[in-house]
Structure 1
Amino acid sequence: MLVRRGRRGRADQDWRRKSAVAELVLAVCAGAAACGGDKASGGSEPEVEAAAADRPIESVRTGGAVMLSGEWPLTGATFEGGGPQHPVYVVKMDNTASSTPQIGLSSADMVVEQLVEGGLTRLAVFYYSDVPDQVGPVRSLRASDIGIVKPTAAVLVASGGAGRTIARIADAEVATSVEGAAGFYRADDRSAPYDLFMSLGDLADNPQDGWQAPAESYLAFGDQSDFEGTIAVDKITATFSAAHSTEWKQTDDGWTRPESFAEEGDDFMADNVLLLKVKVGDAGYQDPAGNPVPETKFYGRGEAVLVHGGKALQATWSKESAGSALTLQNTDGDEVTVPAGRTWIELVPAEDGAVVLSS
Structure 2
Amino acid sequence: MKKWIAVLAAAMVITAGCSSKETEKKEATEHKEKQVEVDEVVAPEELPYQFPLTGVGTDEESSDRAVAVVVNNHPKARPQSGLNNADIVHEVLAEGDVTRFVAIFQSEQPEKVGPVRSAREYFIGLASGFDSFFIAHGYSPEAKDMLERGVIDNINGMQYDGTLFKRADFRKAPHNSYITYENIVKGAEKKGYELDKAPAPAVFLSSEEAEGLEGTPAEEFMVKYGSPSFDLIYEYDAEQQKYHRFNGSEESVDLESKDHILLDNILVVQMDHRIIDNAGRREIDMKSGGKGYLFQKGKVNEIQWKNEAGRIVPYKDGARAGFVPGKTWINIVPSISDVSFDSQP
The TM-score by the shorter chain falls in which range? 0.7 to 0.9
Counterpart in the other structure of 1:185: 166
Equivalent of 1:302, from 270, 286, 290? 290
Amino acid of the structure 1 residue aligned with 2:52: P
Equivalent of 2:302, from 311, 314, 317? 314
Residue correspondences, number: 286
Question: 1:261: Cα distance to partner?
Answer: 5.0
Counterpart in the other structure of 2:50: 71
SS at 2:183's partner residue? helix
Query: Is the contact between residue 95 and residue 261 of structure 1 (CA under 8 Å) also seen in structure 2?
Result: no
Query: Is the contact between residue 103 and residue 266 of structure 1 (CA under 8 Å) also seen in structure 2?
Result: no
Which moved further from structure 2: 258-267 or 159-168? 258-267
Counterpart in the other structure of 1:131: 109
Q: Distance in 2 between matches of 1:318 and 1:107?
A: 26
1:94 aligns with 2:72: yes
1:8-35 per-position Cα deviation (integer Å, ceiling 9, x unaligned) = xx985379xxxxxxxxxxxxxxxxxxxx
Query: Is the contact between residue 66 and residue 199 of structure 2 (CA under 8 Å) also seen in structure 1?
Result: no
Equivalent of 2:120, from 139, 142, 152? 142
Query: Is the contact between residue 110 and residue 127 of structure 1 (CA under 8 Å) also seen in structure 2?
Result: yes
Equivalent of 1:340, from 318, 325, 328? 325
Amino acid of the structure 2 residue aligned with 1:71: Q
Question: 1:171: Cα distance to partner?
Answer: 4.3
The CA RMSD over aligned residues, in Å, is 2.6
1:44-85 per-position Cα deviation (integer Å, ceiling 9, x unaligned) = xxxxxxxxxxxxxxxxxxxxxxxxx9331211112332434x
Amino acid of the structure 1 residue aligned with 2:193: G
Question: Given the two structures, how large is their TM-score scaled by the length of structure 1?
Answer: 0.72
Q: Distance in 2 between matches of 1:308 and 1:276?
A: 15
Query: Is the contact between residue 49 and residue 61 of structure 2 (CA under 8 Å) also seen in structure 1?
Result: no
SS at 2:102's partner residue? strand
1:285 aligns with 2:277: yes
Query: Is the contact between residue 188 and residue 194 of structure 2 (CA under 8 Å) also seen in structure 1?
Result: yes
1:269-289 per-position Cα deviation (integer Å, ceiling 9, x unaligned) = 10111111112223x3343xx
Structure 1: unaligned runs, 5 residues or longer: 1-9, 16-68
Query: Is the contact between residue 135 and residue 199 of structure 1 (CA under 8 Å) also seen in structure 2?
Result: yes
Q: Distance in 2 between matches of 1:237 and 1:169?
A: 35
1:13 aligns with 2:6: no
In percent, how many aligned pairs have the same letter? Answer: 22
Counterpart in the other structure of 1:202: 183
SS at 1:303's partner residue? strand
1:157-306 matches, within 5 Å, as 157-171=135-149, 173-179=151-157, 180-181=159-160, 182-204=163-185, 207-208=188-189, 209-211=192-194, 213-217=197-201, 219-227=202-210, 228-242=213-227, 244-251=230-237, 252-253=239-240, 254-258=242-246, 259-262=250-253, 263=255, 265-282=258-275, 284-287=276-279, 292-306=280-294
Query: Is the contact between residue 236 and residue 357 of structure 1 (CA under 8 Å) also seen in structure 2?
Result: yes
Query: Is the contact between residue 138 and residue 197 of structure 1 (CA under 8 Å) also seen in structure 2?
Result: yes
Query: Is the contact between residue 229 and residue 307 of structure 1 (CA under 8 Å) also seen in structure 2?
Result: no
1:309-341 per-position Cα deviation (integer Å, ceiling 9, x unaligned) = 111111111115xx43433221x3222111111
Q: Distance in 2 between matches of 1:168 and 1:111?
A: 22
Query: Is the contact between residue 113 and residue 178 of structure 2 (CA under 8 Å) also seen in structure 1?
Result: yes
Question: 1:200: Cα distance to partner?
Answer: 1.8
Counterpart in the other structure of 1:56: none
* Higher relative contact order, chain-length normalized (CA < 8 Å, sep 6+): 1
Question: Given the two structures, how large is their TM-score scaled by the length of structure 2?
Answer: 0.75
Runs of 4+ in 1 over 6 A off after TM superposition: none
SS at 1:300's partner residue? coil
1:238-276 per-position Cα deviation (integer Å, ceiling 9, x unaligned) = 112246311111123321123245326233210111111
Query: Is the contact between residue 108 and residue 268 of structure 1 (CA under 8 Å) also seen in structure 2?
Result: no
1:170-211 per-position Cα deviation (integer Å, ceiling 9, x unaligned) = 447112221133531001121111111111233236634233
Amino acid of the structure 2 residue aligned with 1:248: Y
From the two aligned structures, give the one with the greater helix fraction: 2
1:119-139 per-position Cα deviation (integer Å, ceiling 9, x unaligned) = 111111111111121111111
Counterpart in the other structure of 1:46: none
1:141-197 per-position Cα deviation (integer Å, ceiling 9, x unaligned) = 111113311111101211111233211344471122211335310011211111111
Query: Is the contact between residue 65 and residue 199 of structure 2 (CA under 8 Å) also seen in structure 1?
Result: no
CA gap 1:354/1:172 in 2 versus in 1, 3 angstroms: farther
Q: Distance in 2 between matches of 1:172 and 1:329?
A: 32
Q: Distance in 1 between matches of 2:70 and 2:49?
A: 28
Query: Is the contact between residue 126 and residue 310 of structure 2 (CA under 8 Å) also seen in structure 1?
Result: no
